[in-house]
Chains A and B, each alone.
Chain A
Amino acid sequence: MRQLVRIASWLYAVLIYGFIFLPVVVLVLFSLQATSFPIPPFTGPSLRWYDAVLSDTRLTSALVNSLLVASISSLAAVTLGFLSAWGFARFVLPGSGLLRGLITLPLTVSYLIIGMGLLVLFNWAGVPKSLLAAGIGHVVINLPLCFAIIYSQMGDHQINIERAARDLGAPEWKVLLLITVPVMTPAIFAGFFLSMTFSWDEFVISFLLTRFDTTLPVEIWNLLRSGLNPKTNAVGSLVFAVSIVLVVFFELTLLRRKPA
């Protein structure tokens, strides 16, 4: 019986892993295709489509745009999130529960609707479509995430640590710089990298709020109109690779939090 469960488990796990990795393997494999269609039979390996991607200025500038939007919007989100988490965790504010609820509210609303709202507002206020507009949207979706992560890590123990610092004579700004920020570093990093990944992969808000200069997911979307193309595979594989790098960073910051 136990043996049977074990075999069935293995079989099931292999099937699910297969299901999960099938599209990724196909994507990466046919990005190395030598011929013009990313369909069987496999004719590679060849790096010609990566060459094509890197010499396509639309794609490369979209890649730079994506990195810029992701890093700047994540920086803004994590800064706002940290400051507000600190404020709510340390001080008694009237209506604190309600205000915290307001900050985390965007988490429950789909990106499409957040993007739509901003589109309508910017359209009405005469704000042109731009990377800046998309970045604002990315802060809206990532701020509640950073806030929630950092706020959840500011427990009683952290409060006592700050009290101890004040008790030993540290003024408020030294408490912030010497104690709070260093102690919260893992949570701050986690918030930042998670925001980076989400912003890097985000499509619909960027699609709605940018026009000429746009982010990589939107540019890939434009490529899709030409049908299946190994160049799309190549750029998709690159996007995937960058996401993995971010996730590994994220994992490492999470792991670092463990011994503390």
Chain B
Amino acid sequence: MNSAGNNPPPRAGRALPRASSALPWALVTPALGWTLLFFVLPFIAMGFSSLTAHEGGGFTLSNYSQFFTNPSYWQAMVNSLQVTAIVTVISVLLAYPFAWILAEQVPERWQRLALMLAVLPFWTSYVVRSYSWLLVLAQNGVINRALTGSGLFAEPLQLANTRFATVTGFVHFFVMLLTLTIFANLKQLSPSYRKAAADLGAGPVRTFLHVVLPLTLPGIMVGAFLTFVLCIGDYITPQILGGNNELLMPQLVMMQIGRRGDFPLASALSIILMAVVTIAYFACARWLKIERA
């Protein structure tokens, strides 16, 4: 039996280069390695750390149980969730009409500039932005001078170092972020939807309620979720604007490292914070699916 007819000897240099099977791995391994080494491994380290006792090492669950038994820790989570919820709702409510005005009322040729201006301060660092709000809200800052100067109030208001200040600082940032995402959503909407709705007899209000709003809702959800994630994990804004009167989770985490060097507790609190975000993500993902169906 002559098998040569079926299997001619492979010709060197003509078949696909052998490197072609190693090449793709050579391309993706550095990025994967980096992620494993500096993202996944730290996570594992944090997990181990959260299960060791601060004093003397050894396995313990006390770092987690503390969170549930110490009311001030528990309160920090409640505060975080409250602030995040308030910020998300206010930001969406403020940003949606603004994005709508930019997309619908501003002439086409000015839109890019208008949007770029609207999100310019978005690109300043957290620290500088929060400090700027402190200037505005301080005891003798711009707002209080304006209020007392105009005779509306005799005494300056306590604006800085309050939850109000924290929420204001956050809302400032997230209004810009949400304006960006909602604007993009509104622009992606084909004008023929609106034309079709108008053609079928819907007025501007009903077109908005029945066509525009439902079609942009998934985009709003994504923006709102992003707001939630970024807001609940931010340390700077509450630290600078809210002060230490009311602790949020990130402040609590940083406090463990700063004052006491208690890495295990800080790790446990970080993991709990992550878990809350993950739960929110799955809740959100499910809700988004229902929306689409």
Contacts and interface: CB of A to CB of B under 8 A. Distances in A.
Instruction: Report A-B touching, CB under 8 Å.
Output: yes
Interface of A: 5-6, 9-10, 12-13, 16-17, 19-24, 26-27, 30, 37-40, 80-81, 83-84, 86-88, 90-91, 93, 99, 102-103, 105-106, 108-114, 116-121, 123-124, 136-137, 139-140, 143-144, 147, 172, 197, 200-204, 208, 217, 220-221, 224, 228, 232-233, 236, 239-240, 243-244, 246-247, 251
Contact of A24 (B32, B132, B230, B277): B132
B118 to A, nearest CB: 6
Given A116-B267, A123-B263, A204-B235, A140 B125 contact: no
Contacts of A22: 136, 142
Query: A-side binding surface: helix, strand, loop or mixed?
Result: helix
**B: interface residue count bin:** 35 or more
B233 A117 contact: no
B192 to A, nearest CB: 22
Give 8 nearest A-B pairs by CB, closest first: A110-B233, A117-B42, A87-B27, A23-B132, A84-B31, A91-B24, A201-B125, A236-B128
Given A26-B136, A40-B145, A239-B124, A120 B263 contact: yes
A138 B120 CA distance: 22
A80 B30 contact: yes
B253 interface: yes
Nearest to A233: B135
B138 to A, nearest CB: 6
Given A109-B274, A110-B229, A204-B235, A13 B24 contact: no
Nearest to B267: A120
B24 A87 contact: yes
A83 B31 contact: yes
A112 B121 contact: no
A17 B102 CA distance: 11
Interface stretch (B93-101, B182-190, B215-223): B93-101
A136 B229 CA distance: 22
25 contacts: A16-B94, A22-B136, A23-B129, A84-B27, A84-B31, A93-B28, A102-B35, A103-B35, A110-B250, A112-B250, A113-B273, A117-B42, A120-B46, A124-B45, A137-B38, A143-B31, A197-B123, A201-B125, A203-B127, A203-B236, A217-B127, A236-B124, A236-B127, A243-B124, A243-B125
B34 A172 contact: no
Contact of A114 (B39, B94, B230): B39
